[in-house]
């Protein structure tokens, strides 16, 4: 994990020596900050605060049962990954913990120092993947916002000549909702005649070449527009064209 991306870990454990060992183990092996508490009630409040990325939760605490707390926070909705730590491991408890959504299960004995880092590493992998997904989704939303405000028509089309994406201006030009384009064949939108005229350029971009040309098109109100069009291919890791973008700028607009 990159520096500056430190995760916060809450250790809910009533034995101070064990809590200290867990804190030292995690902070030594991972880029994390660890806070400890000996109370189930305080642990619940801290979890609900949303300030922690991972929780280790003792099964048995003086003021309650960790499995019951796991059940409660699981029912409440989103919560950080929880690793159950128990002094007396048994199959029934482990099964129940995982049924309730526990991210890991560790026995508090001589195996703790070996098992906890392995379980924690798996939890971190899941957190990293979730963060990447969120970052990609956020990046995609930003890119779509830019595309929707760009002074041009933008379309992404696959090798089968079907739309993968169009921006807002493209959809408005042809008088269709954006979501209706996905999966439509280009000929169904452009018309057979227009599609036939563009097919040589499409075939060229699918061979991997960037293409530029001028084209006329009628909007959904029947008005004729003149465009300067650029087609840009996209490639997979093996160098095969998977799809392409078409950027259509109205002549004299830019």
| Chain segment 10-42, per-residue pLDDT in tens | 999 988 999 999 999 999 988 899 999 999 999
Question: Does residue 1 surpass a pLDDT of 50?
Answer: no
Looking at every residue in the chain, the average pLDDT score rounds to: 86
Per-residue pLDDT band at 127 (split at 50, 70, 90): low
Per-residue pLDDT band at 129 (split at 50, 70, 90): low
Per-residue pLDDT band at 157 (split at 50, 70, 90): very high
219: helix, strand or coil: coil
Write down the residue that tokens 């309650």 correspond to: 64
Quickly list DSSP for 19-35: HHHHHHHHHHHSSEEEE
Q: What is the pLDDT of residues 60-77, one digit of tens each?
A: 888 888 888 888 888 887
Angle separating helix axes 66-76 and 40-48, nearest 10 degrees: 20
Sequence-distant (6+) residues with CB within 8 A of 162 are 183, 184, 185, 186
Which has the higher per-residue pLDDT, 132 or 210?
A: 210
Q: What is the pLDDT of residues 211-236, one digit of tens each?
A: 999 999 999 999 999 999 999 998 98
Question: Does residue 205 surpass a pLDDT of 90?
Answer: yes
Q: Which residues pair with 228 in a beta bridge?
A: 214, 249
Question: Does residue 4 surpass a pLDDT of 50?
Answer: no
Closest among 248, 165, 239, 245 to 207, alpha carbons compared: 239
17: helix, strand or coil: helix
Question: Does residue 152 surpass a pLDDT of 80?
Answer: yes
Per-residue pLDDT band at 2 (split at 50, 70, 90): very low
Which has the higher per-residue pLDDT, 11 or 137?
A: 11
Per-residue pLDDT band at 133 (split at 50, 70, 90): low
User: All domains of the chain, ordered by start, with CATH?
Assistant: 7-139 (3.40.50.2300), 150-250 (3.30.450.20)
Per-residue pLDDT band at 189 (split at 50, 70, 90): very high
pLDDT for the residue numbered 134 = 63
Q: How many CA atoms lie within 13 A of 187 on its CB side?
A: 7
Residue 100, token pair as written in the block: 């309730």
pLDDT for the residue numbered 140 = 62
Please state the separation of Cα 52 from the chain's center in Å. Answer: 20
pLDDT for the residue numbered 254 = 43
CA 169 to CA 249: how far, in whole Å? Answer: 11
pLDDT for the residue numbered 138 = 64
Question: Does residue 104 surpass a pLDDT of 50?
Answer: yes
The model's pTM: 0.52
């Amino acid at each position: 994990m990159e520096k500056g991306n430190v995760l916060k870990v809450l250790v809910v454990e009533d034995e101070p020596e064990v809590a200290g060992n867990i804190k030292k183990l995690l902070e030594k092996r991972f880029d994390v900050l660890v806070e400890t508490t000996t109370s189930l009630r305080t642990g619940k409040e801290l979890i609900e605060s949303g300030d922690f990325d991972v929780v280790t939760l003792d099964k048995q605490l003086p003021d309650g049962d960790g499995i019951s707390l796991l059940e409660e926070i699981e029912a409440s909705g989103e919560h950080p990954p929880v690793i159950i730590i128990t002094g007396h491991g048994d199959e029934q408890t482990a099964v129940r913990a995982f049924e309730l959504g526990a991210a890991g299960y560790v026995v508090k004995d001589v195996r703790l120092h070996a098992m906890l880092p392995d379980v924690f590493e798996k939890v971190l992998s899941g957190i990293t993947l979730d963060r990447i997904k969120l970052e990609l989704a956020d990046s995609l939303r930003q890119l779509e916002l830019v595309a929707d405000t760009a002074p041009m028509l933008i379309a992404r089309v696959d090798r089968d000549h079907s739309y993968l994406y169009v921006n807002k201006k493209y959809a408005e030009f042809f008088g269709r909702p954006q979501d209706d384009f996905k999966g439509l064949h280009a000929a169904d939108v452009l018309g057979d005649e227009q599609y036939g005229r563009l097919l040589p350029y499409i075939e060229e971009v699918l061979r991997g070449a960037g293409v530029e040309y001028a084209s006329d098109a009628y909007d959904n109100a029947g008005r004729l527009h003149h465009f300067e069009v650029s087609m840009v291919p996209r490639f997979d890791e093996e160098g095969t064209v998977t799809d392409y973008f078409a950027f259509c700028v109205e002549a004299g607009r830019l």
